[in-house]
Amino acid sequence: MNDRFKPQWHLIQTLRNIILAGLITNLFFLWIQPDHYPNNTFLCNPSKRFSDFIIWIQFQKYSLASEWGCPPFSLLVATFWKEIAGVTGSLVGFCLYSILFLSLHSRIIFLELGLCGKRPDFSTWAILSFLSYPVLFEFDRGNPAWMVYLSIYAFFYFCRRDKYQWAAFFLAIAISIKIIPVLFLFYLFYKGKWGAAICSLLETVLLTFVGYFIFSHFFYPAYSMDLFVNGLKTYELIYAIGGGGLAFSCSFFSLILLLLRFYAHIFDLSPAPFSWERIALTYCNAFTIGAMASVYTWIWLRRRKMNEHRVSSLLILCLLLVPPVTGDYYLLLCYLLFFDLLRLDLDSISFKIYSVCLGLLMIPKAYGVFFDDVNTGVLLNPLLLIVLLLCLLFSGQKRSYRDDIGLKTLHNSSSLSNSMTNRVS
């Protein structure tokens, strides 16, 4: 293997070991705390296994439209899987759904690791592909988050190959399934591809209209955009303010909400329902949006000398931290952070801190239960994401491998020249 790729493979092996050790450690904690089961499991309650997929395809009272606030195109995709499950049965439909996700995901891992000078061995590939916490949690829930993850991966893949028409299309798919990827339009602005950004917005509008037309005319005539907007409000009330998504969320607001509930528990306070949560969400939204705007401004001012992988990593971290609720299945985007880290230009100390924190994000951390089914992972995941963000913002820049080779070549040439001069003299 070329010496150039030794740091990358050291990182790959480190991440593999962290994932394997983290999974074994969490299973040990689960084993020694049987009285807390199932609240201490790093997955959801076994009685709710695969429930995101089941609800998604069954349209129970059309909760996706009325409570979850899913965009119209997402409902159209759900209808596709509903028809497949109707023909094959829910279990077979879920198996096909999961096999598609795992096969595409594992193929991406194989391809990305293969860019580091050699093919990965089977154990490394299998551990990174199937045993990380985001993959296990996504498989447990059956959430369509993996479609967003793959679409965002395809977006960056085509951007870095200057195929911006395809990049715009896949970004439009991601936005049409889950609105928050609209944040990645800034990456196109950063690259100076304003036309691609406009094209992506137009394609998003088209996909949304097509989804709305088909779903409202052929599957649910009562569906309307007002129902969609009310669904977003209901989702905020149930999962953000009401804490329904707190048990498995890695957003900044989930950290604030957890600390708020700690405070109320310690001082035995009983405020009016949701009063504190509403105020906290308002201030938290203002803070996170302001912080995100500051990050975007910082990127824009330094755009001519910033590594594009550092920019994409910053945008991914903003996407994970800014929404009021970010389910742990969206930690699949940590794989994109990992791919970027293989090409990042961080200084030595920041690189080590970043690598360890990224590895910890990809393992389960249910070492104890605070209340109900809220475990220590809810506290640790947002903190780890914040550390990653700070590393990217304030780390120095190291010399690249090419620069090191150039200096060595210059030094060797100088030594050879001096030697020849001495011989002549």
Sites in the chain below the pLDDT cut of 70:
1-5, 34-40, 45-47, 56-68, 267-274, 371-373, 396-425
Identify the pLDDT of residue 62. 47
pLDDT digits (tens, 9 = 90+) for 117-162: 778 889 999 999 999 999 999 998 888 899 999 999 999 999 999 9
Tokens representing residue 180 in the block: 């928050």
What's the 3-state SS for 7-35? HHHHHHHHHHHHHHHHHHHHHHHHHHCHH
Give the burial class of 269: count Cβ atoms within 10 A of its Cβ; 0-12 exposed, 13-18 middle, 19 or more buried: exposed
Q: Do 334 and 362 form a contact (C-beta atoms < 8 A)? A: yes
Give the burial class of 119: count Cβ atoms within 10 A of its Cβ; 0-12 exposed, 13-18 middle, 19 or more buried: exposed
- Map out the domains of the chain as residue ranges: 3-400
Identify the pLDDT of residue 202. 97
Identify the pLDDT of residue 188. 95
Reported pTM: 0.87
The set of residues, in sequence order, having a beta carbon less than 8 Å from that of 293 and lying 6+ positions away, is none
Q: State the Cα angle at 184 between 380 and 377, rounded to 5°.
A: 10
Identify the pLDDT of residue 155. 97
Among candidate residues 132, 193, 127, the one with its CA nearest the CA of residue 159: 193
Is 349 strand, coil or helix? helix
Taking the CA of residue 96 as centre, how many other CA atoms within 13 Å lie in the half-sphere pointing to its CB? 14
Identify the pLDDT of residue 176. 94
Cα distances from 185 to residues 29, 178, 180, in angstroms, run 42, 14, 11
User: Rounded mean pLDDT of the chain?
Assistant: 83
- Residue whose entry in the numeric block shows the structure tokens 């209808």: 79
If you ran DSSP here, which 8-state letter would residue 333 be given? G
Among candidate residues 23, 5, 96, the one with its CA nearest the CA of residue 363: 23
Q: Do 43 and 384 form a contact (C-beta atoms < 8 A)? A: no
Identify the pLDDT of residue 237. 84
Q: Rounded CA gap, 98 and 394, in Å?
A: 39
Identify the pLDDT of residue 419. 47
